[in-house]
Amino acid sequence: MILDAFFRTLGQIGDPRFRRVLFLGVGLTLALLVGATLGFLGLVQWLTASSVSLPLIGPVTWLDDVFSIGSVILMMFLSVFLMVPVASAITSLFLDEVAQAVEDRHFPHLPEAAAIPIWEAVKDTMNFLGILIGANILALILYVMFPPAAPFIFWALNGFLLGREYFTLAASRRVGPVEARKMCRRYRGTIWGAGILMAMPLSIPLVNLVIPILGAATFTHLFHALWRQG
């Protein structure tokens, strides 16, 4: 069922609506990360004195430059880990367009889906973004403690979070959020497995930027398959 949903998605990869969501998601993600870096750099420069006097050394005027360069390097390092979670969360804001493209092609007989209010979509996206970033930052500790298991921890963690969120968003369009959460519990293993399939290519540069789109479409197919089965 999972592979069938995935290959159906690959057959629609050239859909213009898929490309539009990809460009929007990646563009907003880059803007957010650049803005966060500039904001953090400005905070560091504001907190760091331009000149300090150290014992035995005397006045030192280059500490603020060191902290500024260090903060940029730190944000660049964190962006490697946060780029995909942030892109995934922001892409979820436009999931409705991806899901509609899938349904227009594969399920044209269905009535129009209930529109998700923009304020609710933004709220859910911010909550999801916070959970993703927090969980992946905490996972860095596990990566250091258990280096050989790092890829498996990454896949399991992000597979669980992405699978649950994307399935819930896809299902909510048709059955509402309450029933969507019930389906998440009922088909937890299938959804987690699909989420892991989505999380595994997240380790591949550039390819990982397309994964949120493929995931949104795949979980739309998966929802309809489970909905018919139920």
- pLDDT at residue 82 above 70? no
* 30, 52, 221 from 80: Cα distances, Å: 12, 33, 30
Percentage of the chain surpassing pLDDT 70? Answer: 75
What mean pLDDT value characterizes the chain?
79
Give Cβ neighbours of residue 169 (< 8 Å, ≥ 6 apart). 92, 95, 99, 116, 124, 216, 219
From CA 194, how far away is CA 82, in angstroms rounded? 21
Q: pLDDT tens digits, residue range 103-155?
A: 999 998 988 887 677 677 777 777 777 887 788 788 888 888 998 998 899 88
Residue 129 confidence (pLDDT): 73
- Which residues sit opposite 53 in a β-bridge? 59
Burial zone of 152 (CB within 10 Å; 0-12 exposed, 13-18 middle, 19+ buried): exposed
**Per-residue model confidence (pLDDT) at position 225:** 93
Q: Is 76 in contact with 40 (CB distance < 8 Å)?
A: no
